[in-house]
Structure formats: structure tokens, C-alpha cells
Structure 1
Amino acid sequence: MLALAALAVFALSRGSDYDRSPLGNKGLELWLQAKGIPVLRSDSHIARARSEISLRIVPLSIRQNGVAAPQADEKTNDLGPENPAEEASHYALPTLIIMPKWRGNVSIDGVASESGLIDLTDIRSELDRIGYSDLGLNRSENGFEEAHPYLKPDQPIRIALYHAQTFDLASLPSNCKELAGTLTGALLVRCENYPRVYLLSDPDLLNNHGLALADNASFAVSLVTLLRKAGETRPVYLDTSGQPLDSKKPVDEGRTYERSASDLKRFFAYPLSVIWGTLILVAAICFWRGAYRFGPPLREASANIEMSKTAAIEATARLLRLSGNDGRMTGQFVLHLLADKAQLFFGPGAGNEAGIERLFQRLARRDQATAKALHSSAQALIDRGHVMTRADLHRNLEIFRKSLGSIDLGSR
């Protein structure tokens, strides 16, 4: 499932990239909408109906990765998309079919050069497939060329094309009419066998690459306005998927259900009742465990700082015992006890190493032997308590306790 989701996201991102590439039609969509013409884009999951749209625009593509499509009388297992020309006649739908011109690598490289042009033979094969085998195509050998096609008699528009691709006027069938063109060929034609179909020879008049050139954008708006007829309000259908149309608009199959309070009972019916019971049981166990672990809440907070210090000391001692650091805990106890005694005699600022040394000097003046024993046992516990055996730890601690208790500290 994850792999399928990743492929779907990848496909969507590729489609979005193509729409914004030089060969895409995102610019045409935004430009028409800016001019007040609504646009619908094709979706492979949604079939559009004839009644929904006013004009269908179909960019013709070379199938099978640039290889010419099979002829109409050739047998093939791939039926391919529906013929847009036949659909246009069946539904009486104005349809603009745009001839291909560029290979797919142009959308990836982002550069439209002569090497990216499709061979005209492949394009003629596509014309044969949709029923226009009599039309011929020419392509200019020059680079950029300008022309002034007249879609309306009083509206000259200057267009620019790179290697302009046009229908051959010399071989234009008698049942086909040129609607717009250059001095050397026809850009837009319509034939009597498919009177609702309009063929545009050069896609650069409508794709992202061409809309930025000269007045190509104005030509695109004039062309769409002309083909969808005046006063039309239905959107233009930009069909890039080649999906066949529906004969009628799809009906919304959604159903509206009435809801009542009795529907709530379904949330407590089996097997949901088992889930709710399990959740209640787990919550009860959690509350009971919390009350048992921490005890009942205190009715009032104690302001006694000594109780807080005692609780902190007990917690630290418990952690040290659990971690097997009895010796380190004993050394800290001796050091803090001596610091408290030094502060008691010499003031609050004497609880440091200098203050403890001064305390030993004071004790030595009273009883030098006992003071020496006290100093050696205290120093041993502080420096080496964490590496002493349990027997040595108890022996030194007992010497320290007796020595400290036997000395008369006197008054401050």
C-alpha cells in the first residue's frame, strides 16, 4: 500500500511539473480565467458530459514514446483513446485539436531547440488516425518568425513562432477551409467531414512556451472566444487525458440519512462495548496505581525549609544506595557536617575548605591527638570513601563519630 501511495504521489507531481513546463497548458488555463473564461481541466477519475462544456481543447500527442501510431487498418491490442474528431461530431461539440510539435524531453530539459522537434512523418500518422489523411504539414527552416493572422477582419494580431508549423496550402483539400494562417501556410483549418472540429497546426500558440511570445496570448483568447461562440457561459474543457465524454451529466449518488438519538446506542453495542469496558478498566487501574504509589494528597503545603532539605537528603541517599555508592554518600555526609560546624563557629561564609581547615586548627588547640584522629578519618572518608571496602568505611566512620563527639568545641 505504501508503494502504491508513493507511486500515486510521484505521478501527480510529474503531471503538475508537466503543466508548468514549456509544453504544458497551465499558462493557458490561468490566462483564460484572467480574461473571464472559466476552464475545466481533465481528470482521469471524472468523465465530463457534453452539456457541461462549451469548447473542448485536445492537445494531440504522439503515442508509444514518439513512435508513430498504427494506421487505422492495422490490428492492435491497444485501442488507445477515443477519436476526438468522431466524438465532436457525435456530441455536436466544438473541439479544437492541437497538433504535436515537440518531443517529451523538452518538458524535462526546459529548452525548446531544433533537436526537440518531432518528425513530421509521425504527426501525419496521427492525422491519419483521426481521419485527416489528406492534410499535409510543413515546418519552416528559419528560427523565429512573425506573422499577422486575422481571426477577425478588424483585429490584426502579431504572433511569433519558432520553426513555424503550418498546414500545406497547396495540398489543402477542397472540403477544408483556412480560418487563420501565415503567408506560407494555414494555422487553423476546418473540414466539412468534421464541421465541429478545428485543427491548430502549431501548439506554440497555446502552450506555456509560446504564450510569452509577441501577441500569442491575445491570439489564444481571440481563438477560444471565436470557437465557443458569443454569449457562452459554460467553461472550456482542457482535455489532456483523452478520456471519452459521457452522454449525460453524472448524477450525484450521495444519499441523505436521517439521524436520531437512538443512533448513539450503536456506539455501546457489541463489540464496541468491549472496547469501552477495557478503556474504563485501564483508566481505573491507572488512577488506583497513582493513588497507591504517591499516597493521598497533602491537605496543606508545609513551609518548613528543614523538612524540604531532609526530604531532598533522603531522596539523594536513596539514589546513592540504589546505585551502590555508599562510600560517596558517606564522604558527602562528612564534608557537609564539617562545613556546618565551620559555619556555626565562624559565620555563614565559612562553609568552605578554608573554613574547615580553620575548624581543625581550633580543635587542635584544645586536643591535638583527638583533632589529628578526627582530621585523618574525615580526610580518608572524603577522598577515598567511594573506593573503601564496607569494613574500612564503617571503621573510619566510627573513628570520625567518636572523635567528633569527644572534643569539646566550646563556644563561638
Structure 2
Amino acid sequence: MRDKAPFFVVAGLIVLGLLGLFMLRAGDEGRRVDRSAIGVHGLGLVVREAGLNLRQSHPRLSPHIRDLSIRVFALYDTNLLGDDPAPETKRDLFFQKTQKSITLDDLRTKLSELPTVLLLPKWTTGMFEAGIAHELTLIPAPSIRRVTRQLGLRGLSLRRAGPSFSDITADGHAIALFHAQGFEPGSLPAMCRPEVTAGELVLVMSCDVPETQQITWIVADPDLMNNHGLANGDNRAMALTVLRARLDGDTRPIYLDTSGELLTSYEEAESERQEYERSPTDLSRFFDYPFNVLWAMLLIVLGVLYWRGARRFGPIAKLTDQGREMSRTATIAAKGRLLRLSGNDGQLVADFVRAQLLDLTQQTFGPDVGAAGQKRFFAHLARQDASLAHDFETTAHGLISNAATLPRGELYRQLGHYKSLLEKVVNAHGSLRISKNR
């Protein structure tokens, strides 16, 4: 069980890291929507390129409403008075109509704080999860009418054009909308007025939404300003036209609000600084994006490093395990050095051949063969090649017995012959390892 402990530690670290990444993905769903085809992240880039001031919402920042001109808010909720059940299957996720929830009270507060350009929902989650813009991924019109009724805009009729792209001219711009979505002009409530029309469709209207203190511009088709729509036709120019008309000369930044939370503030800056206190909850910032990515990756890296150290290379070897072998190797190395220094090449060759025969015997029969191991080795070799076994044994024993007295030329000649025979033993006959029971 102790040998498996490193495995469980590594597996635990990797599981924790993957779980952290999964929780990050789940907790960062809003960011995924903003950067998806139905999100409005690209609108911020377009507005800045056009030279207009823009401020992006951030969960840690609370800008004062007096420093902002208008709010742009995309609605991804089709039921402001309740929560839809979480999807349990892929099919449920594909037809999911609410991507980011917001309560009716919070939405009314947003509409009351600042003049707002409100984008109505149009697409289900399947539109960006599967990358399919199709009639199947359209939110049913009754669900959108429910939202307008909850806002107090009763009697408003929604209409969609064609099963394909509609090339529409509005305010001099040739816009392109897939399944163009607009309001019936005759269905507009008394509190609403058309601002942008295209044929028999009202694309943008301004309304005095009940229980709010600002005029709200409602965009029927979010493809006029979302990431998917800004790449089509002249939608980008049309979006800028709508925003400039809503600004009406105001030079303060546009507030691109992508959060369902109430992030703007009314308090004075001085009072905010005086009332602000540090709390343990500030520590949670180190576990928010992007720090949570770093923590998750760190756990995975630690798991891999622990595996390399504890499992791949094994535990630290005890000296007693290889003491005899290490002692023998050290003794041979020391003796060889002394013989080289003394110029006794013959004795050095004899010791070399003796040690090599011992290694061959241990490789073949194992380490515990005793003195009879060499005889058994040559007998085993003779069963495979008697002539080679005889020549190899004669040459090896001759070098072990007589190398110290041989002339240098003869010594080197016999050593070369021994090496050629050794090469035949190893290469021509492959591995010599056999069962110890033989």
C-alpha cells in the first residue's frame, strides 16, 4: 500500500487541478457568452475604433453614474420573474433560452440609472455551442413577448422575416440580418415610438418603460450589435448610428454593461473611501479569474513533478541494496588505475577479462551462481556453438593465467582475438539469459 501512496497523491493533485478548471469554466459562463457569437464583446472594439469613449463593466469596479452617458445592455433572460431549470441533457442545453439571468427589479434599476440601449434576446445556447444559426436555434417568439409583457409593454407584436439573410435598408445603411426580428408598427404601445424602421419592421424603438425614470431604446434584433451581426452587411455602421443618436452629443463614456449585477454607484468618492474597510472576503480575489487558472495549472504541474520524482525514478535506493556490487565496481576501478600507473598492462588485461566473464555469467544465470557459474556458462554456450565456446574459453583462461608474462605485442594480439570472439558470443547468439532452474 505504501508503494501506491505516490500514485494516489499524484492522482489527487491532477483531479483537483481538473476540478478547478471545470469550476472555472462553470463560474465564467458569463465571459463565455460575451465572447461568443451572441455576445457584445466586439461592440466595444467597434465603438473604440470609431473614436467614441467606452467603459466596459467589471465585477470589481463600480463607476459613478454621473461619469457615464448611456448604458448598452444585452438581455439573455426570457423570464424576469423566475429562473428556468438548469439543462440536464445536451438537448436541453441546445434549446436553452436563458444564458444569463437577471431579475425584473435589477433590470428596472439599470433602466432607471442611465439612458439605456436594451438588446432583446433572439438565440438559444445552441447557436454558439454548436455554431449553428438556424431556425431551430431561434428563441420562440412567445418567450420574447413574455419579456416585453413583464417590462410593461403589453400588446407588442414580434415578427420575423424569411428563413435566410434579409438585406434591409435602414437610415441609409444596407444591413444584413439572419431571420430579421422586428416589431409590428401597429402594435407599438402608446409609450413607445419608432426610431429605426426597415419597411414594415420597427428595428429600434424608444419607450418610457413603466417604473423607470429614463427613456429606453429597445433593439428588437440583437444581431444589429452582437458579435455575430457586426460582421454582416453594414451592421457596424448602423450600430454606431444608433449609439450616436442615443448619445445626442454627450461625450461621456458609453457603459457596455455585460453583468446582471448592479455595478454602478451613486455615492461620492470621498464617502466611499471613508467607509471602505478591508475584510477577509478580499482574499477571494486571489481565487477569481485569472488567478484560479494559475492555481489549477499549478496543481497539475505539481502532480506531474511529483510523479517524475516519486514514481518514474523510484524511491531513493538504499546503500545496502547495491553495496556489494558498488564495492566490487569501486575495487576494480581503483585496482585498474594502480595497474595503469605502474605500467602492468598484462595484469590489467587479466583482471578485465575475469571481471567481464563474471558479468556475462551473472547476466545469464543471475547474481548468485558462485564459483561454478563460469563452468556452467561455458557449458551452456557449448550447447549452442561448441567450437566458439572452446575458442572463447581457451582464449579467456589463457589471458587470465598468462597475460602478466606475455610480451606486449602478443598480449595485444590475444586481446584483439578475445574481443572478436566476445563479439560473436554476444551478437551472433543474442541474449544468453536462461532460466535458473536449468
What's the TM-score once normalised by structure 1's chain length?
0.58
Shift, 1:4, TM fit? 8.1
Correspondence for 1:37: 52
Pick one of 189, 207, 217 that aligns with 2:236. Answer: 217
Paired position in structure 2 for 1:207? 226
Query: How far apart are the structure 2 equivalents of 1:186 and 1:178?
Result: 6
1:258 equivalent in structure 2? none
Whichever residue aligns with residue 202 of structure 2, its letter is A
Residue 248 of structure 1, CA deviation = 3.0
Instruction: Give the whole-Å Cα distance in 1 for the aligned partners of 2:253 and 2:124.
Output: 29
Q: Distance in 1 between matches of 2:38 and 2:177?
A: 14
- Identify unmatched segments of 5+ residues in structure 2: 1-15, 79-83, 87-94, 277-322, 359-369, 372-399, 407-438
Instruction: Identify the residue that residue 227 of structure 1 maps to in structure 2.
Output: 246
Partner Cα distance (1:79, 1:102) in 2: 17
Q: 1:197 to 1:334 in 2, by over 3 A?
A: closer
CA distance in 2, matches of 1:165, 1:213: 15
Q: CA deviation at 1:104?
A: 1.2
Matches within 5 A, 1:24-173: 24-63=39-78, 64=84, 80=103, 82-89=105-112, 91=113, 93-150=114-171, 156-173=172-189
Change (3 A) 1:378 1:49: closer
Cα displacement (A) at 1:216: 0.6
From the superposition, tell whether residues 329 and 191 of structure 1 become closer, same or farther in structure 2 (CA, over 3 Å): closer
Residue matched to 1:180: 196
Q: Distance in 2 between matches of 1:128 and 1:49?
A: 30
Q: Which amino acid in structure 1 is aligned with residue 200 of structure 2?
A: T
Match of 1:241 among 259, 265, 272: 259
Q: Relative to 1, partners in 2 of residues 1:320 and 1:96: Cα closer, same or farther, differing over 3 Å?
A: same
Change in CA separation of 1:383 and 1:149 when aligned onto 2, cut-off 3 Å = closer
1:326 and 1:60 map into 2 onto residues whose CA distance is: 78
- Alignment gaps of 5+ in structure 1: 70-77, 151-155, 256-318, 342-355, 357-374, 390-396, 405-412
Change (3 A) 1:382 1:236: closer
Deviation, structure 1 residue 43: 2.4
Alpha carbons of 1:248 and 1:333: their partners in 2 closer, same or farther (altered >3 Å)? closer
Which amino acid letter does the alignment assign opposite residue 261 of structure 2?
Q
Conserved 8 A contact 1:81-1:242: no
Counterpart AA for 1:216: N
Distance 2:111 2:179 in 1: 30
Deviations 1:240-271 (A, max 9, x none): 2122242235534699xxxxxxxxxxxxxxxx
Percent of residue pairs bearing the same amino acid type: 27
Say which of 14, 31, 37 aligns to 1:22.
Answer: 37
Residues 52 and 249 in structure 1, CA contact (< 8 A), matched pair in contact too: no
Rounded Cα–Cα distance in structure 2 between residues aligned with 1:326 and 1:186: 93
1:82–1:243 Cα contact (<8 Å) kept: no
Deviation at 1:177, TM superposition (A): 1.0
The structure-2 alpha-carbon separation of the partners of 1:5 and 1:38, relative to structure 1 and needing over 3 Å to count, comes to farther
1:378-402 deviations in Å (ceiling 9; x for gaps):
764443268699xxxxxxx9x999x
**Cα separation, partners in 2 of 1:173 and 1:382, compared to 1, 3 Å:** closer
Please say if residues 164 and 179 of structure 2, whose CA atoms lie closer than 8 Å, have aligned partners that are also in contact.
yes
User: Is the CA contact 2:153–2:209 (under 8 Å) kept in the aligned structure 1?
Assistant: no
For the residue of structure 2 that corresponds to 1:214, the secondary structure is coil
**8 Å Cα contact 1:58-1:242 kept in structure 2:** no
Cα RMSD, aligned residues only? 3.9
* 2: CA distance, partners of 1:171 / 1:385: 103
Corresponding residue for residue 328 of structure 2? 324
TM-score normalised by structure 2 residue count: 0.55
Instruction: Tell me the residue number matched to 1:384.
Output: 354
Specify whether residues 8 and 68 from structure 1 end up closer, same or farther in structure 2 by C-alpha distance, changes over 3 A only: closer
Aligned-partner SS, 1:158: strand
In structure 2, the CA distance between the partners of 1:4 and 1:68, relative to structure 1 (3 Å rule), is closer
Q: Contact between 2:115 and 2:215, CA under 8 Å: does it hold in 1?
A: yes
Instruction: Find the residue that maps to 2:206 and give its secondary structure.
Output: strand
**How big is each residue's C-alpha offset from its partner over 1:167-216, in whole Å with a ceiling of 9 and x where there is no partner?**
11122223321111111221111224555111110000001111111111
- SS of the residue 2:185 aligns to: coil
Number of the residue aligned with 1:299: none
8 A contact 2:181–2:221 mirrored in 1: yes
Aligned AA (1:84): L
State the alpha-carbon separation in 2 of the partners of residues 22 and 217 from structure 1: 15
**For the Cα contact (< 8 Å) 1:181–1:188, is it kept in 2?**
yes
Q: Distance in 2 between matches of 1:22 and 1:378?
A: 79
Inter-CA distance 21–379: structure 2 relative to 1 (3 Å threshold): closer
Indicate how the Cα distance of structure 1 residues 249 and 207 shifts in structure 2: closer, same or farther if over 3 A, else same.
farther
Range moving further from structure 2, 162-171 or 124-133: 124-133
Task: Name the structure, 1 or 2, with higher relative contact order (CA <8 Å, separation 6+).
Answer: 2
With over 3 angstroms needed to count, the CA separation of the structure-2 counterparts of 1:131 and 1:3, relative to structure 1, is farther
Taking a change above 3 Å as real, the CA distance of residues 327 and 42 of structure 1, as seen in their structure-2 partners, is closer
Q: Is the 8 A contact 2:38 2:227 kept in 1?
A: yes
2:38/2:228 contact within 8 Å kept? yes
